[in-house]
């Protein structure tokens, strides 16, 4: 085997910080190469150097691609050579069709007139290759994230890709979609497409990768050849964080107290199509000090359930009852739900959880401005004190609470969102994918915060697509499928296999 | 890295981060100096300073409401038409129907509130883009004022009505005393109240500023460097004393200046220090996040338009009172001046940021340019070109600063 890509002693400096320091990366022709590292370790910077976002000359070191010295000036330069990156945030135009998106900027046209017949025929071929059964004329906005990811890959294939780079491809995908995507990666490998995958999910890395390179603090820590030596998750984690992580989930005293929240006979219909029932007759309860999980595939209705309970922020014709501490609670509007003691930490913190242009202080008090004001006038001293308190308690890494939250890392942003809801003093917190897209170290801190909440006697309802996380954190797990609960498991009973089998047998 | 630069002190670093705010103040000073020289000193003559306030007060008052609307993530194109319509409405009531002035004014403000409520209803509760709703409003109220006035001008207004715009606050000292002061100052007149209030304003600004600094220091907040604080306040204090002295040597404080200052202080406080103000910024910054934090986003949007309607009505009354007649052309294209003032003042088109003081300074920049260019005799054609370029330059400066 020959190397397709060799990046040698790549060093990239920004004013005041060395993002990459003598990084080496060797990718063999036809292999799947995984790059692991914490957020901020330098993975994306390295990929930006490779794809020409940072043009030749702005970094030190050499890139050899396909046997020659490569000096890419920009992205289109590297794309011409068959290097294609699929970013975490998908770059498709929602109101154009699959076919139009695939050939966007690369239209099958002569003299500016598009040949639709050939466009559609070629799209059909590509969709077959990636295993997506959709008509080429379907609009992107009608597709879920998993299918959109496949469209991105089809788009890459349309450009005669030789080196396909997938940045966190399964971060937003459900278990089933993730599996399908990994299968596709293996199939593309069989067809000779070399691939680089950047991922936080170590089980996936283990499944597909031939070689694993771990980056930490801008340097290459280790390169593991999965064909000759055993790749264990422990080893990768150790290399990533630079220390042993004996337990990825911190221990907690498991003690369930009084009943905090009971939801009974909860039914919700789709906000636009009133004949589609999204949530079907759900009953659930959370006790003080309990961490209760909701497992289920993407699209099973977990987020919809949470949002419909939280001030009816999703759905219509909602029926059912919510009791808090034994009393029927009015949670029909969001402010009422907050007053009643509920908090909902959204799945998408950037677009639903934070005002990115505002600073930490403003974001922390947003859900409880009454707590820092008198007769409608904000006491900024009190506000600063509150923000400082949470900065310290949550270990938000920032020089000051006047920092814009848009400038913080994902883990710190999540801590700000949690601070906001803790300051609203809820009894029950619904956490929707609380550790999505944040690195191992920050995850551990979030788990500790959850455990603290439970120790204080709060109830936590936790939605997660990562089953190990649910298994590691929860006292009980509800299993959800197609809008209904199909099982309830205690921590002792629960395992990945049992959860999956409950989902698939229903 | 962003954090690192924020943290590293130094005057240069501070200036770099707040270049917009200081830039605005210096732009206003520079523009005034240019026209002061170009008009051979006419710009800052007592009579012209008085005129500057009389001419621009209604723009500034409407800019206060427009800032709130823009911060909430919306726009209101109808304010020019609404102010014209309210002027016509007031004229019909007071001149043709002989209604009392007080009743007319209250009714006019009420109609303004209703207009704002109607437009706000469609924007807030039906999610129709404010651009479209208020574009419709702009046409509707332009047409309605033509209909009310039947294409004619109606006037004149009673004396007491004109007072809201062209009246002056009487002095607090006996005429004989001020006459002797006037002789010392070498002017026809000398209004003690104007100078006194100017002094009070200066002291209040310095007091509030010092208190803020003390508080920041106590909470470890790195605020404005002391040198900047001194220079900025010296400039503001100097300008205030200069203006109040000049006003004193003419006819004293115009009524409309007092309304304008009081409203500016009220809105600056509302936007910066109250929960409702904070929530409007959150709504404009991220509507979904605000809603999920328990903020009644629809009601806030609605209220922003109600408030705008009321201020547009007040602008209409002041404008009609100054011209002493309601004309079908009143308020034509004024919405553009108001919106331009807010954007020159640093508000963001996408909502969520902007300050009341910025909008007021922005309005003064526009006002001084209008006034100065008219005095030096630049034609209406090039006046528009220059104003357009200044707006573009201000917003370009914003975008350029952000991209660095």
Q: What is the spatial distance between Cα B320 and Cα B148, in angstroms, rounded to a whole number?
A: 15
pLDDT at A105 over 90: no
**A67 pairs with which residues across the strands?**
none
Phi, psi (deg, nearest 5) at residue A248: -80, -15
**Chain B touched by A287 (CB under 8 Å):** no
From A334's Cα to the closest Cα of chain B, the distance in A is 5
pLDDT at B10 over 90: no
Q: What is the spatial distance between Cα B311 and Cα B59, in angstroms, rounded to a whole number?
A: 10
Q: What is the spatial distance between Cα B204 and Cα B209, in angstroms, rounded to a whole number?
A: 8
Q: What is the spatial distance between Cα A188 and Cα A182, in angstroms, rounded to a whole number?
A: 10
Supply the pLDDT for residue A246: 55
The verdict on residue B13 lying in a domain is: no
Q: What is the spatial distance between Cα B78 and Cα B116, in angstroms, rounded to a whole number?
A: 10
pLDDT at B7 over 60: no
Burial-class residue A260 by CB neighbours within 10 Å (0-12, 13-18, 19+): buried
Question: Sign (positive/negative) of CA torsion A119, A140, A433, A495?
Answer: negative
Q: How many CA atoms lie within 13 A of B67 on its CB side?
A: 30
Write out chain B residues lying below 8 Å of A313, CB-based: 291-292
From B274's Cα to the closest Cα of chain A, the distance in A is 4
Q: What is the spatial distance between Cα B46 and Cα B36, in angstroms, rounded to a whole number?
A: 13
Supply the pLDDT for residue A16: 59
Nearest to B275 among A373, A385, A403 (CB): A373
Nearest to A381 among B6, B219, B291 (CB): B219
- Taking an 8 Å cut-off on Cβ atoms, the answer to whether A352 and B294 are in contact is no
The answer to whether B205 and B236 are in contact (CB under 8 A) is: yes
For domain A3-241, say whether CATH 3.30.460.10 is its number. no
Supply the pLDDT for residue A247: 67
With cut-offs at 50, 70 and 90, classify the pLDDT of residue B1: very low
- Interval A272-315: pLDDT, tens: 888 888 899 999 999 999 999 999 877 788 999 999 999 998 88
Q: What is the spatial distance between Cα B243 and Cα B50, in angstroms, rounded to a whole number?
A: 9
Burial-class residue B10 by CB neighbours within 10 Å (0-12, 13-18, 19+): exposed
- Interval A140-186: pLDDT, tens: 888 877 788 889 889 888 888 899 999 888 877 777 788 888 998 99
Mean pLDDT of chain A: 87
- Taking an 8 Å cut-off on Cβ atoms, the answer to whether B289 and A353 are in contact is yes
More confident residue, A400 or B360: B360
pLDDT at A237 over 80: no
| Domain interval for residue B87 | 18-167+296-403
Write out chain A residues lying below 8 Å of B14, CB-based: none
- Taking an 8 Å cut-off on Cβ atoms, the answer to whether B274 and A400 are in contact is no
The answer to whether A209 and A34 are in contact (CB under 8 A) is: yes
Token pair recorded at residue A297: 């595939």
Nearest to B274 among A310, A353, A378 (CB): A378
Token pair recorded at residue B72: 């909430």
pLDDT at B3 over 50: no
Average pLDDT over residues A388-403: 87
Domain count, chain B: 1
Coil vs helix vs strand at A484: strand
DSSP collapsed to 3 states, A137-167: CCEHHHCCHHHHHHHHHHHHHHCCCCEEEEE
Q: Which residues of A316-346 are buried (b: 16+ CB within 10 A; e: fewer)?
A: eeeebebebeeeebebeebeebbbbbbbbbb
- Which residue ranges make up each domain of chain A? 3-241, 249-341+426-506, 355-425
Mutation to test the B interface, candidates A17, A369, A375, A404, most B Cβ within 10 Å: A369
Residues of chain A with pLDDT > 90, as a percent, come to 38
Nearest to A335 among B278, B281, B294 (CB): B294
DSSP B254: B
**Chain A touched by B6 (CB under 8 Å):** yes
Supply the pLDDT for residue A210: 92
**Chain B touched by A395 (CB under 8 Å):** no
The verdict on residue B27 lying in a domain is: yes
Average pLDDT over residues B184-198: 82
Query: Architecture of domain A249-341+426-506 in CATH?
Result: 3-Layer(aba) Sandwich (3.40)
- Interval A331-355: pLDDT, tens: 999 999 999 999 999 988 888 999 9
Phi, psi (deg, nearest 5) at residue A292: -110, 130
First-residue to last-residue Cα distance in chain A:
47
pLDDT at A362 over 90: yes
Q: What is the spatial distance between Cα B20 and Cα B354, in angstroms, rounded to a whole number?
A: 11
The verdict on residue B225 lying in a domain is: no
Nearest to A16 among B4, B278, B282 (CB): B4
CA angle B136, B141, B142 (to 5 degrees): 100
- Taking an 8 Å cut-off on Cβ atoms, the answer to whether A380 and B273 are in contact is yes
Q: What is the spatial distance between Cα B115 and Cα B306, in angstroms, rounded to a whole number?
A: 7
Mutation to test the A interface, candidates B286, B348, B349, B350, most A Cβ within 10 Å: B286
ipTM of the complex: 0.83
Average pLDDT over residues B142-154: 92
Query: Which candidate, A487, A490, A419, A461, places its Cα nearest to that of A288?
Result: A461
Token pair recorded at residue A276: 């589609």
**Chain A touched by B274 (CB under 8 Å):** yes
**A64 pairs with which residues across the strands?**
A6, A69
**Chain A touched by B212 (CB under 8 Å):** no
**A12 pairs with which residues across the strands?**
A20
Among left, alpha and beta (phi > 0; psi -120 to 50; other), residue A103 is alpha
Query: Which candidate, B307, B329, B335, B311, places its Cα nearest to that of B80?
Result: B335
Average pLDDT over residues A480-501: 87
With cut-offs at 50, 70 and 90, classify the pLDDT of residue B267: very high
Query: Which candidate, B308, B261, B330, B55, places its Cα nearest to that of B165?
Result: B55
- Taking an 8 Å cut-off on Cβ atoms, the answer to whether A355 and B291 are in contact is no
- Taking an 8 Å cut-off on Cβ atoms, the answer to whether B286 and A378 are in contact is no
Kindly report the number of other CB atoms within 10 A of residue A109's CB atom: 13
With cut-offs at 50, 70 and 90, classify the pLDDT of residue A230: confident
DSSP B112: H
The answer to whether A451 and A349 are in contact (CB under 8 A) is: no
Q: What is the spatial distance between Cα A143 and Cα A437, in angstroms, rounded to a whole number?
A: 22
How many beta-carbon pairs below 8 A join chains A and B?
102
The verdict on residue B51 lying in a domain is: yes
Beta strand A68-69 with A60-65: parallel, antiparallel or unpaired?
Answer: antiparallel
**Chain B touched by A362 (CB under 8 Å):** yes
Q: Where are the alpha helices (DSSP H) in B72-191?
A: 79-91, 101-125, 130-149, 159-166, 175-185
pLDDT at B182 over 80: no
CA distances from residue A335 to A240, A321, A369, A429, B278 in whole angstroms, order as listed: 42, 18, 12, 15, 16
Asked, colleague to colleague, whether A3-241 and A249-341+426-506 share their fold, the answer is yes
The answer to whether A38 and A216 are in contact (CB under 8 A) is: yes
DSSP collapsed to 3 states, A292-361: EEEEECCCCCHHHHHHHHCCCCCCEEEEEEEEECCEECCCCCHHHHHHHCEEEECCCHHHHHCCCCCEHH
From B26's Cα to the closest Cα of chain A, the distance in A is 26
Write out chain B residues lying below 8 Å of A353, CB-based: 289, 292
Query: Which candidate, A322, B97, B26, places its Cα nearest to that of B18?
Result: B26
- Taking an 8 Å cut-off on Cβ atoms, the answer to whether A335 and B215 are in contact is no
The verdict on residue B257 lying in a domain is: no
Supply the pLDDT for residue A236: 80
- Taking an 8 Å cut-off on Cβ atoms, the answer to whether B215 and A381 are in contact is yes
pLDDT at B108 over 80: yes
From B100's Cα to the closest Cα of chain A, the distance in A is 36
């Amino acid at each position: 085997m020959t190397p397709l890509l060799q990046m040698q002693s790549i060093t990239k400096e920004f004013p005041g910080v060395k993002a990459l320091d003598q990084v080496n990366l060797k990718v063999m022709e036809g292999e799947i190469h995984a790059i692991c590292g914490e957020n901020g370790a330098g993975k994306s910077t390295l990929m930006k150097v490779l794809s020409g976002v940072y043009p030749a000359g702005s970094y030190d070191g050499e890139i050899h691609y396909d046997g020659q010295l490569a000096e890419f000036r920009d992205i289109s330069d590297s794309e011409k050579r068959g290097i294609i990156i699929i970013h975490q945030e998908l770059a498709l135009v929602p109101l154009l069709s699959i076919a139009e998106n695939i050939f966007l900027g690369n239209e099958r046209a002569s003299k500016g007139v598009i040949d639709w017949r050939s466009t559609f025929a070629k799209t059909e071929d590509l969709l077959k290759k990636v295993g997506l059964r959709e008509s080429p004329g379907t609009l992107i906005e009608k597709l879920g994230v998993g299918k959109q990811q496949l469209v991105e890959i089809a788009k890459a294939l349309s450009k005669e890709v030789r080196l396909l780079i997938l940045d966190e491809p399964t971060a937003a995908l459900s278990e089933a979609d993730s599996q399908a995507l990994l299968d596709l990666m293996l199939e593309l490998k069989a067809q000779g497409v070399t691939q680089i995958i950047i991922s936080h999910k170590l089980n996936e890395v283990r499944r597909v990768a031939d070689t694993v390179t771990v980056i930490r603090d801008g340097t290459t820590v280790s390169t593991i050849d999965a064909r000759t030596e055993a790749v264990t998750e422990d080893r990768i984690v150790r290399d990533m964080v630079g220390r042993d992580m004996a337990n990825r989930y911190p221990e907690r005293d498991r003690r369930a107290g009084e009943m905090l929240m009971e939801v009974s006979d909860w039914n919700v219909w789709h906000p636009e199509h009133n004949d589609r029932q999204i949530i079907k007759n759900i009953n659930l309860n959370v006790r003080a000090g309990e961490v209760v999980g909701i497992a289920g595939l993407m699209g099973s209705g977990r987020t919809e359930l949470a949002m419909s309970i939280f001030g009816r922020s999703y759905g219509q014709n909602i029926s059912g009852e919510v009791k808090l501490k034994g009393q029927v609670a009015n949670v029909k509007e969001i402010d009422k739900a907050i007053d009643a003691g509920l908090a909902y930490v959204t799945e998408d913190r950037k677009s639903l959880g934070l005002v990115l242009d505002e600073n930490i202080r403003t974001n922390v008090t947003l859900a409880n401005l009454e707590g820092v004001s008198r007769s409608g006038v904000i006491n900024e001293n009190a506000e600063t004190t509150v923000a400082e308190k949470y900065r310290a308690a949550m270990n938000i890494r920032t020089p000051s609470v006047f920092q814009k939250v848009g400038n913080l890392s994902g883990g710190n942003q999540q801590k700000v969102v949690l601070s906001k809801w803790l300051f609203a003093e809820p009894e029950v917190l619904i956490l929707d994918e609380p550790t999505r897209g944040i690195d191992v170290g920050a995850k551990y801190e979030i788990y500790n915060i959850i455990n603290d909440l439970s120790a204080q006697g709060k109830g936590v309802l936790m939605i997660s697509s990562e089953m190990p996380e649910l298994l590691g954190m929860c006292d009980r797990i509800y299993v959800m499928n197609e809008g209904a609960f199909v099982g309830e498991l205690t921590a002792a009973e629960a395992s990945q296999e049992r959860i999956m089998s409950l989902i698939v047998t229903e | 890295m962003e954090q690192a630069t924020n943290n590293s002190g130094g005057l240069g670093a501070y200036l770099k981060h707040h270049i917009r705010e200081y830039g605005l103040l210096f732009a206003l000073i520079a523009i005034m100096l240019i026209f002061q020289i170009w008009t051979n000193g006419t710009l800052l003559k007592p009579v012209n300073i008085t005129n500057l306030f009389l001419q621009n007060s209604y723009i500034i008052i409407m800019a206060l409401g427009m800032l709130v609307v823009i911060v909430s993530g919306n726009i209101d194109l109808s304010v020019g038409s609404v102010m014209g319509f309210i002027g016509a409405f007031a004229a019909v009531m007071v001149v043709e129907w002989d209604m009392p002035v007080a009743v007319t004014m209250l009714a006019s403000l009420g109609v303004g509130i209703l207009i704002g409520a109607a437009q706000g209803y469609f924007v807030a509760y039906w999610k129709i883009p404010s651009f479209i709703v208020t574009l419709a409003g702009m046409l509707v109220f332009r047409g309605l004022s033509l209909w009310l006035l039947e294409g004619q001008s109606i006037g004149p207004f009673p004396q007491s009505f004109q007072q809201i715009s062209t009246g002056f606050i009487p002095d607090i000292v006996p005429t004989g005393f001020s006459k002797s002061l006037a002789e010392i100052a070498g002017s026809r007149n000398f209004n003690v109240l104007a100078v006194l209030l100017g002094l009070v304003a200066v002291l209040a600004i310095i007091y509030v500023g010092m208190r803020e600094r003390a508080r920041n220091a106590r909470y470890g907040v790195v605020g404005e460097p002391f040198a900047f604080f001194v220079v900025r306040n010296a400039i503001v204090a100097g300008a205030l004393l200069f203006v109040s002295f000049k006003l004193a040597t003419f006819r004293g404080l115009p009524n409309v200046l007092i309304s304008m200052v009081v409203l500016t202080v009220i809105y600056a406080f509302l936007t910066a220090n109250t929960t409702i103000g904070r929530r409007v910024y959150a709504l404009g910054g991220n509507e979904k996040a605000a809603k999920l934090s328990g903020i009644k986003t629809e009601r806030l949007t609605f209220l922003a338009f109600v408030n705008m309607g009321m201020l547009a009505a007040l602008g209409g009354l002041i404008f009609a009172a100054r011209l002493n007649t309601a004309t079908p052309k009143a308020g034509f294209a004024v919405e553009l001046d108001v919106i331009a003032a807010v954007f020159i003042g640093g508000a963001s088109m996408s909502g969520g940021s902007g300050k009341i003081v910025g909008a007021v300074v922005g309005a003064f920049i526009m006002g001084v340019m209008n006034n100065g260019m008219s005095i030096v005799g630049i034609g209406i054609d090039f006046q528009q070109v220059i104003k357009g370029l200044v707006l573009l330059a201000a917003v370009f400066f914003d975008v350029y600063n952000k991209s660095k």
